[in-house]
Structures are given as C-alpha cells and as structure tokens.
Amino acid sequence: MSGEEPISGIGPGGRITLAHGGGGTAMRDLIERVFVATFHPEGTPPLEDQARFDLAAFAAHGDRLAFTTDGFVVEPLEFPGGDIGKLAVCGTVNDLAVGGARPVALSAGFIIEEGLELERLRRIVTSMAMEAARAQVPIVTGDTKVVPRGACDGLFITTTGIGVIRPDYQISIAGARPGDVILINGSLGDHGAAILCARGDLALDVTIKSDCAPLHDLAAALLQAVPQVRAMRDATRGGLAGVLTELAEASRVAIGVDEAALPVRSEVAGVCEILGLDPLYLANEGKLVAVVAPEHAEAALEAMRAHPLGVDAAIIGKVAAEGRPGTVTLINRFGGRRAVTMPSGEQLPRIC
C-alpha cells in the first residue's frame, strides 16, 4: 500500500482534522497510509492491539529486560539536525543504551493537534522510520489521538522502548567510586543552542545543528572495550551539570570537573556568552557521560574516539578521593573553584 494514496477526511490546506481521531475510516486511513506504510514498508502487519515477542529471543542476548518511556514536546517541531520524530527515537534508544541495554523494540504514541499539515506529519514519521532503521530498532506498536486546536502545540510524541542487558554489565548511576575518571563523547550544549536559534526569537546570524543521535553503538563499543564501566548517562535536559549532580548524589561521592577539558563549540560558546547561559546546563541529545576506574580510562577514551559519535571525546574530571558527598566542583583555568548545582528550573523550556 502506498503512503501517498489519498487519505479521507483531510481538511483545507492538507491538514489533519478531528475525523482522524474519531475511530472511523479517516483514522484508519491515517494509521495505515502514514504510520504503518512508513514504519513497515515491507507490508502491512496484522493490526493487533499489542506487539508480541518470542521470549527466547530476549534470553539469547541477556538476563535482564530494560524498559523506559519518554514524552517529546519540542518546539519547533523541525530544527537543524533533527525533528521531534528523530528526537523521540534517539531519546528512547539512548535511555536504554546508557543502562548497557541492547535496544530491541520501540512503541510510539502520537497526540496530533487538529490543523497539523499532513505533509509535515509525513516528514516527521519518515524521519522516525529512518532513525529507527539506522538504530536497527523496529517501531512495533503505537497509538494515535487527534485533539482540538489549542489542546496541544502541533504534535507531541511518546516513545517507549525495551532492551536486553548482558549478565556481565553492572551499570548504575550509584556506581561511581573515589578515583574514578569521568568522560564525555563530545561537545556540550549543541541541542539547546540549536533549538534556541531555530526559534528565531534572537537576532543571531548563526545556525547550530543539534547533536541528536542514537548512542547505542557508541555505548556498545565502549562496553566492548571496558565491560566494567561503572556508570553511564545521556546528558539531556539539565545538561552535564544535571547528570554530574545526580551521579554525585546517587553514588555519595564528590566530583571535580576541569573547565579547560570541557569540549564546547565556538558557536555555542558565543551564543552562551551573548545570552548569559552556561553550556554546562544546556541540553544535549547525543552526549554520553561515562564513569570508569582509572586503570580503564585510556581504553575507554580510545574506544569512544574510534566511533564517529565520539571523535571529540574527552576526560573531563574525576571522582574525588575526599570531599563532601553529593557535591560537584568546577575547577576553572586559573585554579578557581565554583560549585556546580542541580538546575533549579529550565534555562529553555520545551527543548525535547
């Protein structure tokens, strides 16, 4: 069935109407000719109310299931480097990957505002399908609702993912130990700065691309080199500051970060300087923070830099041998120190 066949119920200007959430032929057309045709181009699967799995296939890859869900409300829906669909796939894949899980399948729920252009929806769904194929994680089930104008802002997506964790991986946000080394796979704040510039509210003549990317291959490469990784976390909302403070609190350790070692693109640094923002707190959607024992630091760094998403990887700090548990300290280029605290609010709302 072609995804370009006419869809009944489309309103003036090629827009979604409430009929597409009404349970009739218009909704059936939308589901079959946009979602199913895009996510399953090889043929229409049976429209069951659930996806079904062979448990033996899971057991072949590990001894624990990982299960995660996330909602995406980014504005604008499309931005340099991505869109809400790509973001939804990458965000959920990454939440599985940083637990050491091999992502297996995703579900996707769509809340569509009456009036959304059908062509824009097609672009976003196609982007989701491409990113899921790139990550080799199928979207196996989903749901669609249409709400009246003003009830949401264009399109909201919720994705849920399941994955399988190998028995020898013991990764936890509470796993950091004194002396451990902290690494990141690349530059800070690209996604937050990209969204800020894409909104067009600022007279900035700069285009910054989001770092939105699936991190499961990078995480797998890191774990292959260093199976004993203590902790991993993707630095999304709250940025690196949020991740490090969570890590320090959960592991009951003090963390020191070297400002000179933090990778920040000059464009992002410029935007931050103009607007008084701190790249430590800006959102990322393709950055992985890892904690390893000191004897594994160089192997971990080498593995990250060998991957296309880790070429700018860096060692950025370490877990202190002493200090007040739950604290993070930034050491600047002149040896000065300042406390890094948990973000108290959003620097920028609706970024993911």
All domains of the chain, ordered by start, with CATH? 15-165 (3.30.1330.10), 180-340 (3.90.650.10)
Write out the H or E segment, with its range, that includes residue 282. Answer: none
Q: Is the pLDDT of residue 269 over 80?
A: yes
**Which of 155, 150, 149 has the alpha carbon at shortest distance from 30?**
155
State the pLDDT at residue 202. 73
Q: Do 112 and 153 contact (CB within 8 A), yes or no?
A: no
State the pLDDT at residue 44. 64
Q: Is the pLDDT of residue 3 over 70?
A: no
> Which one is predicted more confidently, 44 or 135?
135
State the pLDDT at residue 57. 85
Q: What is the mean pLDDT of residues 135-162?
A: 96
Task: Render pLDDT for 57-111 as a digit per residue (tens, 0 to 9).
Answer: 889 889 999 999 999 999 999 999 999 999 999 999 999 999 999 999 999 999 9
Cβ-based neighbours of 263, under 8 Å, separated by 6 or more: 184, 186, 187, 188, 312, 314
Q: What is the mean pLDDT of residues 43-50?
A: 74
| pTM listed for this prediction | 0.94
